[in-house]
Structure 1
Amino acid sequence: MFRKLNIFAFFICFCELVKGECDVVTKKQWGGLEPTHVQYLPRPVDLVIIQHTATPMCTTDKACKNRVKNIQDYHMDTLNWWDIGSSFYVGGNGKVYEGAGWLHVGAHTYGYNKRSIGISFIGNYETDVPTAQQLNAVKALLGCGVENGHLTSNYHVIGHKQLLATLSPGRNLWAEIRTWPEWMDDVSSIKN
């Protein structure tokens, strides 16, 4: 009986490792490189910055993995960053891909990286429309982040353009996130 329980416990742990925390596709699963250097993010954080990649959207597992790999290659090889910029990427297939993740400081919003999580929707949401699968995946990710102590229970969601001069997250995604209960309209209290 004890042996069966051990095997069952191992199976449960193995399944958790394979799918990644919070159902995130891990770097290993999408073929990402390890960072060249890391800085740890003090947690829990209370700020989530939503942005878009301003690239073509992806809708299949293969296309989304390739898109995230291309983003990481650009960030590391061309910009000489330590890693891919955002904490997480969300494909049109409804899957969340690990970027810098929950634990490491990202490179998504200059001046705010050391105190926030950056979530990038893959696509250009000036014209693309976020899918229900993407929105549900991000909401589940955020809930899991609170549950696992990565985010405070009273975290705020803001758009990238509230902090920097950019079109990101794009008008269609902007219209959506402004309806979320965690939305923070006035960022004057957190602005650098």
Structure 2
Amino acid sequence: MKTIFLVYYLFYLTVVNSQSTCDDMSFVDRAEWGARKSIFKANLPSKSLPFYVIHHSADPSNCYDDASCTKRVQQIQYRHQFSLRWFDIGYHFLIGENGKVYEGRGWNRRAAHSSGWNNDAYGICIIGDFRKASPNEKALNALLSLIDCGVKQGYVKEDYYIITHRQTQRPGYTECPGNGTLDVVSKWPRYCSFQNSGARLKGNETQISLALNFCEKEFPPSL
């Protein structure tokens, strides 16, 4: 009887711990922000991904209250669907400087945030232009909570890596997510300094395989 109780108690602690970070987030699902229907849905090929790719929207601009952030997310989806002709908003999640996390395509769907990385990385966009200033504390805390939530829920590998949009593409392709974001994110423990060189891939190489090899060397397993 004691053994059964102990197993149940340990299971309970695991569930509570896995939910705590996610429960702490202020999360806005698609219905709450008024998302348009996705034209087509494709599932991610695997459940546990190795990368987070951080973006900024640049335009539309920063938002600090619920009404403005909801409007910005709607604007981004409209542009992605009607100007770029994508199936849906390109990011998995978006974050406003009101400290809230907005559901884009969510954990289970393939997104369109970074060419060559969409099957292997979750794309998170901080709403606003951060080429000079950094995102505020509310946005950064929400980002950290979301990152931890993905790991706790098993959507992201425990030995995950954080990189930025500009690192996934050839040098000079984009400024995203802005120097202000990079200045902060580059100091986080799981940030990897990999940079797509733009060189032609050889044989079975992919940008993901190159990045994983680089990041694994930058973060050797602890003894």
Q: TM-score, normalised by structure 2?
A: 0.74
Q: Does 1:145 align with 2:153?
A: no
2:93 equivalent among 88, 96, 101: 88
- Encode CA deviations 1:136-170: one digit per residue, 9 max, x unaligned: 11111111111111111111000111112210010
- Encode CA deviations 1:102-146: one digit per residue, 9 max, x unaligned: 110111001111111000110110133211111111111111111
User: Is the Cα contact below 8 Å between 2:47 and 2:156 reproduced in 1?
Assistant: yes
Q: Aligned residues, how many?
A: 174
Match of 1:25 in 2: 28
User: Is the Cα contact below 8 Å between 2:25 and 2:100 reproduced in 1?
Assistant: no
Cα offset for 1:74? 0.7
User: Is the Cα contact below 8 Å between 1:20 and 1:26 reproduced in 2?
Assistant: no
Q: Does 1:190 align with 2:193?
A: no
Q: TM-score, normalised by structure 1?
A: 0.85
Partner AA of 1:80 in structure 2? R
Indicate the SS of the match to 1:113.
coil
Indicate the SS of the match to 2:132.
coil
Report which of the two structures shows the higher radius of gyration computed on alpha carbons: 2
2:51 equivalent among 44, 47, 56: 47
Name structure 1 gaps, 5 residues minimum. 1-15
Indicate the SS of the match to 1:28.
helix
Among the aligned pairs, what percent are the same residue? 33
Match of 1:78 in 2: 83
**RMSD across aligned positions (CA):** 1.9
Q: Does 1:62 align with 2:67?
A: yes
Q: Distance in 1 between matches of 2:24 and 2:41?
A: 19
Q: Distance in 1 between matches of 2:149 and 2:51?
A: 15
Name structure 2 gaps, 5 residues minimum. 1-18, 197-209, 213-223
